[in-house]
Amino acid sequence: MRYISTRGQAPALNFEDVLLAGLATDGGLYVPENLPRFTQEEIASWSGLPYHELAFRVMRPFVTGSIPDADFKKILEETYGVFSHSAIAPLRQLNGNEWVLELFHGPTLAFKDFALQLLGRLLDYVLAKRGERVVIIGATSGDTGSAAIEGCKHCENVDIFILHPHKRVSEVQRRQMTTIFGDNIHNIAIEGNFDDCQEMVKNSFADQSFLKGTRLVAVNSINWARIMAQIVYYFHAALQLGGPARSVSFSVPTGNFGDIFAGYLARNMGLPINQLIVATNRNDILHRFMSGNQYVKETLHATLSPSMDIMVSSNFERLLFDMHGRNGAAIAGLMDNFKQGGGFSVEQERWTETRKLFDSLAVDDAQTCETIAEVYAQTGELLDPHTAIGVKAARECRRSLDIPMVILGTAHPVKFPEAVEKAGVGKALELPTHLADLFEREERCTVLANDLKAVQAFVSQHGNRGKPL
Ligand SMILES: *Cc1c(COP(=O)(O)O)cnc(C)c1O
């Protein structure tokens, strides 16, 4: 499989190189040159497979040429073996034909484990084969950091540095990062905000001289391997609800458009999906596009669903590329204009075509809390605030009651006690067994000034299993 850039200029890469790449050299994002397509018979024959075997069948075409089948199977078995629920991604019924796909049974209790547990293992496999080491530098406002650290902690060939804004992530989220020890794991608290952290990561990609030749790898959702891993659970859910003979709809709590883009790909690979709902919080650039054909940046609002607090959605470029007949030059033009501060609309026919599949809703904090309380009263299920936004959007935007509606349950409520408390649900939140002693565990973290040079010096002093590069 070959991968091409959404801006049309960068060289095509194979899977192995795309795994190790960040942005393409032309500033674009990598996508498969040709998407695999499965027949209905083929998809139907996967019914009842264990999750890792389904994952093998769905993802195999993306890695052919880079990873032999037997090795890929073994990696997938290990990856999904660490999940605490034997169904990996169980479906729970909320209402008539309405389901939550629970994606929070991985080590860090958010859906990001599905991709990052795989990414860590794929990186280590490929690097061992090449005899190389890499450094990861990532910024997090919460879920990504812990999932990336958990995914990379056993990697022999990866040193991971996660930057979080000092005193500005929740205690559960901080402890999920700082209580994991290893000579290749480095937590850095920056005396600044999340944007400062993200800016440092960007600048480090732009000038990598401080790494002395060691390759820098991206773990945010611009990395293709993360999107690829997320395609699998759309198939998994649909197969349990009568697919592919019957079509299914999905409502997806959305920030950077990675998770829902995976659903869009599942549909293009042959899975009958009737409707995809983009559920956002008050940071609603995607809802403004889907409802009014305007892609315009606005100021950032802090919400009760912090993992969706974004101003722009990086993976949206991947959809725009398809929307424009995969014309890289057109996307480069749009994105240049956007960078200059201009928003954009797309041609009316393109937008109308997109809207045949996508609907959207923006849900504010008050509605999020109302939904948590409502669902708890109806079913006894406690939703996390991100999932609650998905449920609200599903209920408002649903086109057909006859088609099963699946809401992606993106996090466990215990990660977001503030929202649950505000919702007035009097249920005590308990950490799952493997995290039960989280609040007693020792923490390791280095606090650094909001200073790029200081951070880069720290990385080059510790980037080789804690030793200098
Ligand atoms: C990351 C995250 C999201 C947003 O996913 P995107 O792929 O960025 O759209 C939603 N909910 C939770 C809990 C998350 O951690």
At 426, the pLDDT band (50, 70, 90 cuts) reads confident
Give the start-to-end residue ranges of the domains of the chain.
Answer: 85-109+225-422
- Distance between CA atoms of 375 and 99, rounded to whole angstroms? 12
- Distance between CA atoms of 459 and 452, rounded to whole angstroms? 11
- Distance between CA atoms of 44 and 239, rounded to whole angstroms? 7
Structure tokens at 277: 């709902």
- Chain-centroid distance of CA 264 in Å reads 14
Its pTM stands at 0.96
User: Ligand 1 mean position to 310 CA, how many Å?
Assistant: 10
Residue 207, pLDDT > 80, answer: yes
Residue 55, pLDDT > 80, answer: yes
Instruction: Using CB atoms within 10 Å of the CB of residue 407, give its burial: 0 to 12 exposed, 13 to 18 middle, 19+ buried.
Output: buried
Which residue puts its alpha carbon closest to atom 2 of ligand 1?
Answer: 307
pLDDT digits (tens, 9 = 90+) for 75-122: 999 999 999 999 999 999 999 999 999 999 999 999 999 999 999 999
Residue 225, pLDDT > 80, answer: yes
DSSP code of residue 297: -
pLDDT digits (tens, 9 = 90+) for 233-273: 999 999 999 999 999 999 999 999 999 999 999 999 999 99
Sign of the CA dihedral 250, 255, 261, 264?
positive
Percentage of the chain beyond pLDDT 90 is 87
- Nearest CA-CA partner of 118 in 76, 154, 170, 69: 76
Residue 95 is inside which H or E element, if any? Answer: strand 91-95
Pocket-testing residue among 389, 410, 416, 418, ligand 1, by greatest number of atoms within 8 A of Cβ = 410
Instruction: Using CB atoms within 10 Å of the CB of residue 69, give its burial: 0 to 12 exposed, 13 to 18 middle, 19+ buried.
Output: exposed
Write the class of the CATH domain 85-109+225-422. Answer: alpha beta
Whether the CB-CB separation of 184 and 160 falls below 8 Å is answered with yes
What is the identity of the amino acid at 138? G
Secondary structure class of 442 (helix, strand, coil): coil
Whether the CB-CB separation of 43 and 34 falls below 8 Å is answered with no
pLDDT digits (tens, 9 = 90+) for 293-306: 999 999 989 999 99
Residues 112, 129, 202, 415: which is the catalytic one?
Answer: 112
- Distance between CA atoms of 271 and 32, rounded to whole angstroms? 17
pLDDT digits (tens, 9 = 90+) for 149-204: 999 999 999 999 999 999 888 888 899 999 999 999 999 999 998 888 988 998 99
At 142, the pLDDT band (50, 70, 90 cuts) reads confident
Our separate counts of H helices and E strands in the chain read 18, 14
Q: Which residue has the higher pLDDT, 89 or 430?
A: 89
The whole-number average pLDDT for the span 33-44 is 98
User: Ligand 1 mean position to 390 CA, how many Å?
Assistant: 11
pLDDT digits (tens, 9 = 90+) for 18-29: 999 888 999 999
- Chain-centroid distance of CA 337 in Å reads 26
